[in-house]
Amino acid sequence: MKRFIKKLRSAWYTFVAKRSLGKSDGSFKANGYTKLTKKTVLGNNVNFNGLIIYGNGKCTIGNNFHSGFGCKILTSYHNYEGKAIPYDKTLITKDVVIEDNVWFGINVTILSGVTLGEGCIVQAGSVVVSDIPKYGIAGGHPAKIFSFRDEKRYETLKKQGKFL
C-alpha cells in the first residue's frame, strides 16, 4: 500500500510540474512539490524531489539532473542600484544554466546568472552565487569548490551509460 501511495503522489507532483513547464526534451519525474516556469527547458531523465524556480529568466536543466527537496532557483532579483532604497520596482533577470549530470543536495539555492558545469555536485544547504566548473563539488554559503569528481571514472561511467 505504501508503494502505491508513493507512486500516486509522484504522479500528482509530476502532473502539477508539467503544467507549469515550458519545454521538456524527454522524461522527468517529481517526487515532491515542484514548480517550474514557462521559461524552463528540461533535458531527459530529470528527477526532482522538490524544487521551485522563481523569476522571469530562462532556466535550462540538462540530462540526468537530480535534486533533493527544498531546492530553489532564482532567475530574477530586485534592482538595489535603482531609484529607491532598499530597491526599486524593476527586476534584473539573468538566465541559469545547469548542464548534464548535476546533483543538488537538499535545500540548495541557485542565484540568477549562474552556470553549473557538467557533472558538478552542490552540497546540501548551499547557496550558489557564482559558476561551478565541470566536475566541481561545492558547498557552503556562498558555495565554494572544495573538491572535484574523478574525471576518468566519471567519463568511463558516462560512456557506459550508467545513469540513475
Q: For the chain, what is the radius of gyration of the CA atoms?
A: 16
Residue 78 bears catalytic tag: yes
Q: Which of 78, 94, 134, 158 is catalytic?
A: 78
The residues annotated as belonging to the active site are 78
